[in-house]
Structure 1
Amino acid sequence: MGAGQPTGEQFEITNGTARAVLTEVGACLRVFEVAGVPYVSSFAETEAPPLSAGLVLAPWPNRVRDGRWSFYGEPQQLELSESRRNVAIHGLTRTIPWQVVERSTSAITLGVRIEAQAGWPVPMHTTARYALDADGGLTVTHTMLNAGDRKTPFGVGVHPYPCAGRAAAYECTLQLAARTNLPVDQDRLLPNGPVAPLDGGEFDFREPRKLDGMVLDHTYGGCVPDADGIIRHHLVGPDTGVEIWAEPDFGWVQVFSTTGFPGTSSAIAVEPMTCPTDALNSGIDLRELEPGQTWSGSWGLRPMS
């Protein structure tokens, strides 16, 4: 890895006017733009990803309460990677180098082995394939392989900060395909109640809602696919917009607003996830893999005219 580059080697892919840059460490989506217009909030290659921007979250997304969970009756203790909240956050692949599995001009597949370790007893292998199409869209396909000899649960999430061109998040409207919300406490951002239907209140984004003045760190579920089987969320600004789409396995989405993202007055993370916060304890929508079995799922970004 290059000195002064906490994300390691940078991998550029292009197709027509579409361009993306991925990183060696964390398989991070650092840049996605079409015709010079940005569709994710980016950062310099000499910086670590701010606020987990663009990272792959595996083998679980979001937080695990006290880093503790039970692997089919066996107590596990994960490293408390968010110590101020006493939780384990966003999996085990964010800060380690990934390897190039396959590469072309318009696509790249990065992969990494998740070793068995304290708090995670079964080795896994995960890949992320980033591919640009001729129409300017980006498709990201994830795989998870159980490389051990015991069945294991898992979840996958991603942490993009989509943007509508150069508009700040507060200038945009957001619409989600989500129909439910998992309430969390404001101190540790851990579940403090059952999944509930959205009720038309302030944080209901079933219809487009302006983000100006909103403070969000909310876990949404029940994402409903369109007739073609694809889930779609939309962030729309004054001049352009971006669609965040996902296959049905990504039935959850975390939405996080911030004024602390470098280079912009406000940014918004829209994070497709296969399971919600603390799913290793609740079991909600956890996937399971038998030894040697592989799961695959896709999501992506597409500019809106």
Structure 2
Amino acid sequence: MPGTEVRITHGPYTAVVTTRGGALRELRCGDRNLVVGFGPEGGVPDYRGVICAPWPNRLADGAYSYAGQSYSAAINEPERGSALHGLAIHQAWDIVEASTDRVVLGCRVPAGPGYPGSLELTVAYSLSDDGLRGTVTAVNTGTRAAPYGVCPHPYLVAGPAPLDDWSLELPAAAYLEVTPDRLLPVAIRQVEQDAFDFRLPRRLGPVRIDHAFTGISRDAAGLARVRVMDPSGSGVELEWGPEWPWVQVHTGDKPVGPDRLGLAVEPMTCPPDAFNSGTDLIHLEPEESHSAGWTIRAVDRRG
């Protein structure tokens, strides 16, 4: 569809980026899919690859207070009574610039009953020998301070085997327990001796995960990495910096239809419902900006 998506390439990597949700629609290394993709038309299933802003994950009842005023966002997850994944997923994104190996998309989130600030958002995707680099930037173009959080939403694909047979390495010492019905925060729990302890790589098996993790181990540069491997030796790695103290991991379980197609790995600047808890919430003053980046790369241990 001309004007609605851009294909970029570098070496063995190819990616397709769409104006629908600012999403990464496709990422391949050679003949391998590194993310669960979707078609060139229609909606974006399961929020695959979208940019979630100005809040990631769930906002309970779509309601919160900020700077003494109350705000109410539309509920788009009625079965759980939540405003899910922010406002940018509903906005029209534009192609700001495009070249062979880089594309930049932008959108505007206006102030209104659901949000106090006016945001200009851009997401830049570029390919190199190191894989796909994404960087999302928000600028508060309004006249008042605004709460802010963000995450990308890719579903990683390790290889041809079922997700249960993939191994996961997740360098997180703690996770956020959530209510079973609405998946809203309860308390921080340690992963030690828990089914969610993947600090050493091990097979996923039948475990069901839809939780935010924190207490993340990083290297000297502040980088953290989640690695997912297929038994064949192929795999994929997502790396993110200190701007993201949280990461949501979801095994893609669905009550009906095809499920567990990929592993959602979503670096987050704040946990679910942060507009109410205030945990790790970013406060963007007028004209202030915030940027955060991540990288997805192929891993191959096949002989």
The answer (yes or no) to whether the contact 1:37–1:166 under 8 Å persists in 2 is no
In the alignment, structure 1 residue 122 sits paired with structure 2 residue 85: no
Question: Is the strand fraction higher in 1 or 2?
Answer: 2
The aligned residue for residue 189 of structure 1 is 183
**Which among 39, 44, 47 is matched to residue 52 of structure 1?**
47
The aligned residue for residue 199 of structure 2 is 206
Aligned AA (1:80) = I
Helix, strand or coil for the counterpart of 1:183? strand
Aligned AA (1:154) = Y
The aligned residue for residue 236 of structure 1 is 229
Cα RMSD (Å): 1.8
Count of residue correspondences: 298
Which digits, 9 at most, give the CA deviation of each residue in 1:170-228, with x for residues without a partner? 120111122211110110000122x2332231111111121121111111112222123
Distance 1:97 1:262, change over 3 A: farther
Q: 5 Å matches for 1:271-286?
A: 271-286=266-281
The answer (yes or no) to whether the contact 1:64–1:278 under 8 Å persists in 2 is yes
**Which among 130, 148, 151 is matched to residue 154 of structure 1?**
148
Which digits, 9 at most, give the CA deviation of each residue in 1:4-61, with x for residues without a partner? xxxx822111112210001111011110001121100112223422211111000000
Give the TM-score of the pair, scaled to structure 1.
0.93
Aligned AA (1:33) = R
Which digits, 9 at most, give the CA deviation of each residue in 1:225-272, with x for residues without a partner? 212321111111123111110011111111111354987763221111
The answer (yes or no) to whether the contact 1:217–1:255 under 8 Å persists in 2 is yes
In the alignment, structure 1 residue 107 sits paired with structure 2 residue 102: yes
Q: 5 Å matches for 1:88-103?
A: 88-103=83-98
The answer (yes or no) to whether the contact 2:130–2:297 under 8 Å persists in 1 is yes
Aligned AA (2:186) = N
The aligned residue for residue 62 of structure 2 is 67
The aligned residue for residue 295 of structure 2 is 300
Give the TM-score of the pair, scaled to structure 2.
0.93
How far apart are 1:136 and its partner, in Å?
4.8
Distance 1:105 1:185, change over 3 A: same
Structure 2: 5+ residue stretches without partners: none
Helix, strand or coil for the counterpart of 1:51? helix
**Which among 201, 219, 222 is matched to residue 212 of structure 2?**
219
Q: Give the percent of matched residue pairs that are identical in Structure 1 and Structure 2.
A: 39
